[in-house]
Structures are given as structure tokens and as C-alpha cells.
Structure 1
Amino acid sequence: MASKHVVILGAGPAGLTAAYELNRHGVPLTVLEKDPRFVGGLARTVERDGYRFDIGGHRFFSKSQEIEDLWTEMMGEQLRSCARISRIYYRQKYFDYPLKPVNALRNLGPIESMRCLLSYAWARMHPVKNPRSLEDWVRNQFGYRLFSIFFKTYTEKVWGISTSELSADWAAQRIKGLSLMETIRHAVVPARFQPHERGAVIKTLIDRFRYPRLGPGQLWEVVRDKLVAGGRRIELGAEVTSIRHSGGMIRSVAIQGASGRQVIEGTDFISTLPIRELIERCDPPLPTPVREAAAKLKYRDFLTVAVVVKRDSLFPDNWIYIHDPAVKVGRIQNFKNWSPDMVPDQRATCLGLEYFCFEGDGLWTSSDEELVDLGRRELATLGICRPEEVAWGATVRVQKAYPVYDDQYREHVAVVREYLERALPNLHLVGRNGMHHYNNQDHSMMTALLAARNIATGTTYDVWKVNSDAEYHEEARASDREIGGRHVPMRIDEAA
């Protein structure tokens, strides 16, 4: 493989998985990462004063046994088994999630419970035919009252769009196989009668998962260290400023880093960059239709406010979903409950308050101090702790955390994909932003594994045929809606 040199843009799960697989095959490689300190991308773990916190929650569970085995190979005994405990906060009460009938009925009270059951019965007898909106689809599965309590507010916080304007496609894939009756069955049927084959499990209902002792970033730090120990080059603080091509091939990338400007040449290039950024940085510029298609791709941004609370225990959950419209926070992680080793002082608790926003809006442009103060006030509003119990806080902003599926994103991605496959065949797109697909970590890893094998061994896997469960389907068609990753809400195509 001495004649090859693969340049990987991004050191997130996809980028480092590709590097790990290429290294197995002895292929020389260079990984370029913009962050000056951390690897792991959206699955990194940030450390401040000994406290470790994630950028969102990352459960290590996959229907793909190959991915499960790869995690074990990478981390071994550093992966701990965790019980999934997560609840929904609504009207100052905590509801188990996945929903459990006894808990839900007790919290809702007899009158509201009866209304929900009647609403569900009405929805089953009078379903919305050919549901187009997310609201229609979930109403059919749960009834309108349960939809309004357990789906509407949180979904609108995450995506910033009314559920009546969002396509039903996302719900059909994201909570595929789940309904009120399925939830009840899962709660009341003894465990020995539940499905045990990994592929038969509905991901939304899993009750155990694995998790690295020091957070998901630990796994990617271990992979980084293994690669460096094997003589592979990983450049941190390296921002890609241009991607140079000629003669129908990518030839090199220019980067700007601590040591100045450099040019890295390669024979093959794997990109996890957001498609919009990738196309913007191509030199010379790509054809106008390709640039215009990439420029129309949209993203939802995200920020975490991590706070240290002077109390040894706050709530038992890994995370809680905040359905209360009185606060802006969408979800709260309790990192101590993922792993006690995330918190150096067991007399304290570290929480991660997650806010969904658009770059440039009021939340995004708030100062760190303002965001920590907002978190302090909202924790008090929710009754989780008193403002004075928050010792300190830190914020992490994440650009382009979620690809947005508007009514034309498929066409835009298809234009870019078709051109790159034809005109620049040594450029391989993988991962969430690399493919503009809202997928889980295991899906990103599988696309990277296949791309790396194509380069190393000459196979011809189509990474776009990896479905949302990180399974490769050779017979999949390009039009299959599930193929390529987990679905997210998109606006209803008014012209349809």
C-alpha cells in the first residue's frame, strides 16, 4: 500500500473509524481535525477542571454486531454496562420514558388518563388517512392528547418548526414499530418473552447500553493514541481552507494550523465535513449547479451548558427530556449517572443542559455568562436545584449538529453526490455531516468502514446503502427513504 496515502478530513467517529480500518490494512494516512484539543467530533467528551461532559448523550448500542465487536476491540474493559433511565418532565412531574402505563396513569391522574385513552380510541377508529405531517402520524399511533403531552413541545424545541409543518417521514422511521399498544406490551410482557435477537429490538425501547468509563470521547482518544503509536499522523487545530483538484481527481488539501499553512497531498480523500463547507472549499470552484445545491443545505445548531451543582445527587436518570414550554432547555444530561468517573468530586453533580438553536439567533449569540445564568434560572424553575447551588458552568457551541431535512434536501444532496462520484471519484463522503444524514454513531462508523475497505481492498460497497440500523443492503434503491441514515423532521412539500 506504499503507493497510497489517504487524507481524512475530520476526527469524529466516521473519520477515526476510517483511519482505524485503513491502519488495519497498512494504508498510510493523515487525519486532519479542526479542533485544537479534542477528537471525537459530536461524540467528543470535553474536560474542564477534571469534570468531563459530552456533547449530547451517546449510548453505545447497535443492531450491527460488527459495530458492537469493534467497540469492544477498541475499548475492552473500559466499556461499562449502564441501565437506561430516562424520563420526561411535564407539569412538574416525571414520566418514565419509554412510557410505562402505571407511571403515566398515576402522574396524569384518572381524568386526564381517561381523556388520553378516549383520544387514542378515537384516533384508532378515525385515523388520518395518508398522514403527511408528523402531528398526523403520531396522533394515529398515540392519540392527540398523548401527542400534545409527550411529542409536540420537545420536537418543536429541537427543530424550531411546528409539528404540523413537519413531514411524517421522520416519525415513521425514528419511532418505527412503536405505538401506544407496543409500549404497553413492552411494559407488561415478562422479559423472557421479549425479543432477544439484536436485530429484533426496537432501539427506542432498549433498557441497557454500554458506555466508556470516561465518556464517548475516551474511545476516540484511545483510537487516536493507537494510530499515533502506529506512526499515523493526526493533525489537531488543522482547518481545511481549500481542496485542490485537477484532472478529475482531488490532489491535495491546504490547511491552516498552529504551525502555519501546509499542503497535504494524497491519493484518496475521505470527507466528514459538512457538504456545504466541502463544496465551498473546492479549488477551482465546482460547477454552479453543484455549488448552489450545496449552499441550499441547512443545519440546526446546538449548545451545551455544563454546570457543576453542589449536591451529590439530583435525579437518577441518565438524562431527562424537558417537555415544559416554560423553559428553553430541551434535555438535561446527568453525567455522573452515565459514569461516576465523569465527576472527580463525588459530593458534586455535573449536568449538561442542551439548547437547540440556529447559529446567529439569540441563544447562539448570548455570552457564556448569560447562558450559564439562564441554565441556573431554568434549573430553579424546574425545581431541580436552587440557583445558589450552581458552583460554576461552561458552554460548548456546536455548529451544524443536525442536518435539516427540508422538502428539497434530497434533490440537493443528489446533485452533489452525482457530480462528485462522476467527476472526483477519489473523494469519499461518510458520516452524519459528510453525507447530510441525521444518523447515529454506529451508522457513521459503518459508512466509514465500507469506504475504507473500498480504498484498501478494491471492494465496491455503496456507503449510501447503509440503513439507519448500520446494516448494509445491497439491494437497496436510491429512492428508499430509510437508506442512508436516521430520518429527521422535514417540512411538508407544499407542492406535493
Structure 2
Amino acid sequence: MAMTADGPRSAAERAQHDQAMRESPGSPVIVLGAGLAGLATALHLRDIPVVLVERDSMVGGKARSHRRDGFTFDVTGHWLHLKHQTTQDLVQGLLEPGALIEAQRRTTIYTHGVMLPYPFQANLHGLPLAVMGQCLAGFIGAWLRTRSGKVIEPRDFEDYVVRRFGRGMARHFFIPYYSKYWGMSLNELASDWHVNYVPVPTLRQVLSGAVGSRQDGLGYNARFLYPAAGGIDMIPQAMHRACTALDTCTTQLSTSVEEIDPRLRRIRLTSSPDWVTWHSLVSTIPLPDLLDRIPALPPEVMAARGALRSLPLRYLNVATRTRSPMREHWVYVPDPGFPFYRVGTFSNAVAAMAPPGCAGLWVELSDHSGRVDIPDALRALARLGAITDVEDVLFVEQHEVEHSYVIFDSARKAAVHTIQSWLAEHDIHICGRYGAWAYGSMEDAIVDGIAAARRIHTRHPAGGS
């Protein structure tokens, strides 16, 4: 009897699968999720029939904007960083000249009662002398150990920051900030989730920053692009217009997935009671949600699905009748006395995000469950200097993102590999931050979608090489 990834296959099942394979070349590629990854996939399939399926009534996924009373709010900060020529050409080609502005990042850390330039580890000047001394001594000790060649693989993320930056910086910034960010102990996190996202300064930069020479330009997001008219959703909307201009691409909005049958390469959507056969399936929806729509998963895949963990994000949109006293685009707040870990001001980047003389802010809350004390959060914003006074607030909206941050614990990597391998055997491709259960920027999502399209092109009879 033939064996498959999900166990023995009977003669009848083999016949059904073979028939599905014969029929699928004329079937479309179905792309689940019209966020940046899904849109990029659909846009780059071009000469292959594509059905783009989106649960919401609008495209964009997390790169969406909400408008109210002249204010525009994204789903927290969405600043576009394009380091690849492919994505630069794509985005610029979709938009009119001048549609994007380029800005120099203005970001600080509020800690120990002072505002420090970002990143903390390279801008220690202004801290209490005892604190700065602990940070410098720890960093120099870590640097010397690295130079000696005595490098030990870190056990977890907390161990990484201690080994790389020293106990002083770990104690005074990394542990308090990322504990608020993740809502858990850092020794529960794998050591490699931060690759490319936590700046590592040189010893010269650390020493220069400690004596007051501001160290700017560190990190992947030193400069960013943003729509001049306000609202990050301009980019996915432009991508969707380009998709719909293709004769081969159709979109089904307000449509959810009911069930997926990998063996027979078919899917049932809420838009129709009938099964739809697919040639290839691309999923950018959260990986647990995809698996929950596939009945009778193999035991090893079901176990891997149980190992997938994520954090919800609760945030506030705050509109004020006055401008923000802060000039920063966003501020990191490791101090446990504040109920949020990051605060940003949309209108500091693009004035059109708020009516004249007003400000629009987002506030990322530390608590992931329980009642949100909005008055307390507003008072904390005033203490931080993000708003002039609580009385200036016009309205506050509370929002939640179910899967906001994938938890990079010790089980994630193996679990994703097990799931991805099994899905690939059924020509199901996962991509994007949530589809591939990873961590990445908007550009990473677009690159992921392009790569998925290229993989399908090599296997689809209508596609090019």
C-alpha cells in the first residue's frame, strides 16, 4: 500500500488524488489573505488564473488604515523600509510620483526620567552616572569576551542580551522593555528571533554615545517611506488595483475559508456551498487558522499546531485637539510605571494624518488581557509628554489584534518546519508574517509573496520559468 505524509492511502484514495491532479492544471491558484504577502503573490502570478480570497471587506490585512473625523490611524506604526531594489521598483511603479515621502526616523527611549536617542545601547549620555557606569562596564566586559574568542551559544533571548550587551544594559533596558513587549520572561524566547532588528553598535559607537555624541542611523529603520496623503493602506490598495487590472485575477472580499481538503486539492468558501478545486494554494492567513480548517491532520502536524503560540496586541488610537508636545515618530517606554511600551504620533510623520493643529497617536498597551484603564493610560501619556493634557483628548478607540506577535519559543522552529513540510507535499505554500509564522517587516511580506509566486510559476503549466 502506498504511504503518504498522513499515513497509508487506499486504492480509492489514490484514484481520487490522481484524478484531482489531472484536473488541477486548469484550476486557479487560490491565495488566502489579501494583505501585502497575498497581494504580492497574486500580482506576480500574472499569466496564471488566481482567486484572491479575503475575509474582510477591504484588502490590506494589518497594513490597513481607519479614518474618523479627519484623523487617520493605521494598525499601529507602519513605516515602510525598502532595502531591496525589487520592492523599491514595485512600490514606486504602483504609485504616482511624489505619492511617498521619505523621512529620517525620530525615535527615543524614555527611561530613568530622561529621553534618550534610539538605540539605547549606543546613546547612554543623560542616564544617571551610576546607571551609565553599569551599562558601560557590562558592555565592555561582553566586548572583551567576544574578542577573546570565547563565544558560547546563548540559551535564550535573555542570555543573548546579557552576553552581547552586558548585564547593565540588560537590566536597565532590554529586560524591562522586552518583558513589557512580550508579556513574559525573556528566557522563554529563542535567542534568534531578533535577527536584523536589534542594533548591535561597535565599542566606538557606545563610548561616543556615552560622552554625548549622538549616534543616529543605527538599525534597519533609520529612514522610512510613507504616503504623503496619509494612510499606509494606499500601498495595498494600489497593489490590489494592479491585481484587478490583470484578466487572470479575481478577488472575493468578505469571504472566509470553511474547509480545505488537501488530498483532493479543493476548498470550500463561505461565498459558495460548492467545493472549488485548486492547482496550488497560497496561505497568508495565520498558520493556526489555516490548520484549523483542515480536518484529520496527521498526529505530528496536529502536535506541531499545538506548539504555535502568539500574543494579541491591544492598542489605543488617541485623537487630540492640540499638537503633541513630542516631536518623535515613536517612543519606547521600558519603565514598568507606564501601562504601555510604545507610543507613536502619526501626525508627526505626516501632518495630513490629523486635522490642522491636532494630533493622532497610537498607544501599544503592556497588558494583553483584562480591563483597559483608559483614563490611567491618558494620564500616563500626559506624564510622558505625548499629550499636553487629558482634557485635550477628543476621542479614544480601543482595538485588538488577535495574532500580533508570533512567540519565538524553543518549540516554534521545529513546529513550523513540520507543518511546512507536510503542507508542501500537498502544494500548499505558506508565506508572510502570519502565514509562515515568522517575524518581519512590510517589505519582508512583499518579498515572501513574490517568492511564493516564483515557486508556483515553476510548477504551473501556464506559468513561465
Q: TM-score range by the shorter chain?
A: 0.7 to 0.9
Q: Structure 1 residues 169 and 372 mapped into 2: Cα distance closer, same or farther (>3 Å)?
A: same
Aligned pairs for 1:12-411 within 5 A: 12-22=35-45, 25-36=46-57, 38-76=58-96, 77-99=98-120, 104-105=124-125, 107-125=126-144, 130=152, 131-171=154-194, 174-175=197-198, 177-182=200-205, 204=219, 206-213=221-228, 214-230=230-246, 232-247=249-264, 250-255=265-270, 263-282=275-294, 284-343=295-354, 345-356=355-366, 358=368, 361-362=369-370, 366=371, 370=372, 372-385=374-387, 386-411=389-414
- Give the aligned residue type for 1:443: D
Contact 2:190–2:408, Cα closer than 8 Å, also in 1:
no
Distance in structure 1 (CA, Å) of the matches to 2:119 and 2:261: 49
**1:197: which partner in 2?**
none
Deviation at 1:459, TM superposition (A): 8.7
Contact 2:108–2:332, Cα closer than 8 Å, also in 1:
yes
Distance in structure 2 (CA, Å) of the matches to 1:184 and 1:63: 29
Deviation at 1:171, TM superposition (A): 4.6
Contact 1:305–1:375, Cα closer than 8 Å, also in 2:
no
Distance in structure 1 (CA, Å) of the matches to 2:27 and 2:205: 51
Deviation at 1:165, TM superposition (A): 4.1
Deviation at 1:2, TM superposition (A): 9.5
Deviation at 1:297, TM superposition (A): 0.7
Distance in structure 1 (CA, Å) of the matches to 2:460 and 2:210: 44
Deviation at 1:281, TM superposition (A): 0.4
Q: Aligned-pair RMSD on alpha carbons?
A: 3.1
SS, match of residue 62 in structure 2: helix
Deviation at 1:430, TM superposition (A): 0.9
Contact 2:33–2:52, Cα closer than 8 Å, also in 1:
yes
SS, match of residue 434 in structure 2: helix
Q: Structure 1 residues 2 and 114 mapped into 2: Cα distance closer, same or farther (>3 Å)?
A: closer
Distance in structure 2 (CA, Å) of the matches to 1:186 and 1:60: 27
SS, match of residue 435 in structure 2: helix
Whether 1:11 aligns to 2:34 is yes
Deviation at 1:32, TM superposition (A): 1.3
Distance in structure 2 (CA, Å) of the matches to 1:262 and 1:441: 34
| TM-score with structure 1 setting the length | 0.78
**1:494: which partner in 2?**
none
**1:441: which partner in 2?**
442
Contact 1:301–1:398, Cα closer than 8 Å, also in 2:
yes
Deviation at 1:328, TM superposition (A): 2.1
Distance in structure 2 (CA, Å) of the matches to 1:59 and 1:72: 15
Deviations 1:20-78 (A, max 9, x none): 112xx232222111123x32212222222332112232232233221122121122431
Larger gyration radius, structure 1 or structure 2:
2
Aligned pairs for 1:403-482 within 5 A: 403-422=406-425, 424-425=426-427, 427-458=428-459
- Give the aligned residue type for 1:47: R
Contact 1:314–1:349, Cα closer than 8 Å, also in 2:
no
Structure with more contact order per residue of length (Cα contacts < 8 Å, sep ≥ 6): 2
- Give the aligned residue type for 1:297: L
Distance in structure 2 (CA, Å) of the matches to 1:263 and 1:408: 35
Distance in structure 1 (CA, Å) of the matches to 2:173 and 2:160: 14
Contact 1:329–1:355, Cα closer than 8 Å, also in 2:
yes
Distance in structure 1 (CA, Å) of the matches to 2:304 and 2:128: 51
Unaligned runs of 5+ in 2: 1-23
Distance in structure 2 (CA, Å) of the matches to 1:263 and 1:46: 34
| TM-score with structure 2 setting the length | 0.83
Distance in structure 1 (CA, Å) of the matches to 2:273 and 2:340: 40
Unaligned runs of 5+ in 1: 195-200, 461-496
Distance in structure 2 (CA, Å) of the matches to 1:339 and 1:414: 41
Deviations 1:475-496 (A, max 9, x none): xxxxxxxxxxxxxxxxxxxxxx
- Give the aligned residue type for 2:113: Q
Deviations 1:76-100 (A, max 9, x none): 4311111110000113321100348
Deviations 1:139-175 (A, max 9, x none): 3333322222221211011111223443333356533
Deviations 1:87-141 (A, max 9, x none): 001133211003486x632x21444433432333344456785232333322333
Deviation at 1:271, TM superposition (A): 0.4
- Give the aligned residue type for 2:124: A
- Give the aligned residue type for 1:328: P
Q: Structure 1 residues 26 and 327 mapped into 2: Cα distance closer, same or farther (>3 Å)?
A: same
**1:464: which partner in 2?**
none
Deviation at 1:418, TM superposition (A): 1.8
Contact 1:312–1:347, Cα closer than 8 Å, also in 2:
yes
Distance in structure 2 (CA, Å) of the matches to 1:449 and 1:296: 28
Q: Structure 1 residues 289 and 109 mapped into 2: Cα distance closer, same or farther (>3 Å)?
A: closer
Pairs aligned (count) = 429
Q: Structure 1 residues 45 and 184 mapped into 2: Cα distance closer, same or farther (>3 Å)?
A: farther
Percent sequence identity is: 28
- Give the aligned residue type for 1:207: A
